[in-house]
Amino acid sequence: MTDPCPTGHADAADGELPGSVAVVGAGVIGAAWAARWALCGVDVEVYDPLPTASRQVESTLEAARAAWERLGLLSRETGERSERAHAVALGEVILTSEVGDAVIDAVLIHECVPERVKIKQAVYAEVEAAAAPDAVIASSTSGIRPSELQAEMQHPERLVVGHPFNPVYLLPLVEVVGGSQTSELTIERAMGWFNAAGMAPLRVRSEVDGFVADRLLEALWREALWLVHDGVATVAEIDDAMRLGFGLRWAQMGVFQTYATAGGEGGFRHFIEHFGPALQQPWTKLTDVPELTPEFIATLITQSDEQSGDQPVAELCAARDRNLVDLLLALEANDWGAGRSLAALRRRMSAAG
């Protein structure tokens, strides 16, 4: 059986690639957007005031190339696309010293600066002073409403949220959210470009804080913090409870489909009849957030350091990428979930070559 995939977005990969892309803010997310576009053959101009930004961009590009090689999208020897994919050169990534130089020719501009409304709005003013009036500005914000972000813009209709997931060069999901002033054309253009980059854009139907994914993640994160706070489990025990159990399910089926399978032959109907009443239990309504006192933060950091041993973050990221690549390949072989996005990207690259 293959994934019935009712939302359909995993099969796309058919939009046009953008002519040129700019990235403003080259931290974890900006550098990874740059890498995904470059691997798709698109030139990217990047601006970040931090002197160490070039290091971040280079190391992310290196990690992304290694991951795409293991996916079979690039040949190991040359770093060019393999014959299974297409032969066009990789895009160039160029760092600029002025924001205006980065955005002047771009049709798509990713804003990836810190999660503060004021910083983002100041960046939009700088970007708009140099960018073409119809260039699309896609904010990577994790949860700020686009209506708030676009409030002071000259051309607010071009602002859209394109919320990706780390590492952006491997995970296909990007949440697309329009604000009250965002034009339908902006949303369509952004969705087409993300499709062309092998991503699975999910258009969020209405504008809410945190969108879809971070609302879910925050709920889990809040409970995880309470469990450490109350001494019920350590950081490592909580992560094991996830990755050795229900987390393993979630890469291939979400919460609803998983619960349909948990209902036995009666499927979701039986599940909701059986477990629905448990939603009245007190533990299903825990919504307060533990106070992040210095002592609690120190506990979290100590336990997190113990969990990772002496493995540096770069090694953890490399392990994460290796595991994700193998998961994606397995899902592709089963024609399922995120594997379908990968298959669509592979087809697209082969057709272009």
CB of 37 to ligand NAD, least distance (A): 15
Q: Is 115 one of the binding residues for ligand NAD (CB under 6 A)?
A: yes
Q: Is 28 one of the binding residues for ligand NAD (CB under 6 A)?
A: yes
Binding to ligand NAD by CB under 6 A, coded x per residue (else -) over 35-54, reads ------------xxxx--x-
Q: Is 209 one of the binding residues for ligand NAD (CB under 6 A)?
A: no
Residues in 116-145 that interact with ligand NAD by CB under 6 A: 119, 123, 140-142
CB of 281 to ligand NAD, least distance (A): 32
Q: Which is nearer to ligand NAD, 217 or 262 (CB)?
A: 217
Q: Is 166 one of the binding residues for ligand NAD (CB under 6 A)?
A: yes
Residues in 95-114 that interact with ligand NAD by CB under 6 A: 112-114
CB of 214 to ligand NAD, least distance (A): 8
Q: Over the chain, what HEC string results?
A: CCCCCCCCHHHCCCCCCCCEEEEECCCHHHHHHHHHHHHCCCEEEEECCCCCHHHHHHHHHHHHHHHHHHCCCECCCCCCECCCCCCCCCCCEEEECCHHHHHCCCCEEEECCCCCHHHHHHHHHHHHHHCCCCCEEEECCCCCCHHHHCCCCCCHHHEEEEEECCCCCCCCEEEEEECCCCCHHHHHHHHHHHHHCCCEEEECCCCCCCCCHHHHHHHHHHHHHHHHHCCCCCHHHHHHHHHHHHHHHHCCCCHHHHHHHHCHHHHHHHHHHHHHHHHHCHHHCCCCCCCCCHHHHHHHHHHHHHHHCCCCHHHHHHHHHHHHHHHHHHHHHCCCCHHHHHHHHHHHHHHHC
CB of 149 to ligand NAD, least distance (A): 10
| Number of residue whose CB is nearest ligand NAD | 27
Total number of residues that touch ligand NAD (CB under 6 A): 24
Which residues here bind ligand NAD, judged by CB under 6 A? Answer: 24-30, 47-50, 53, 112-115, 119, 123, 140-142, 163-164, 166
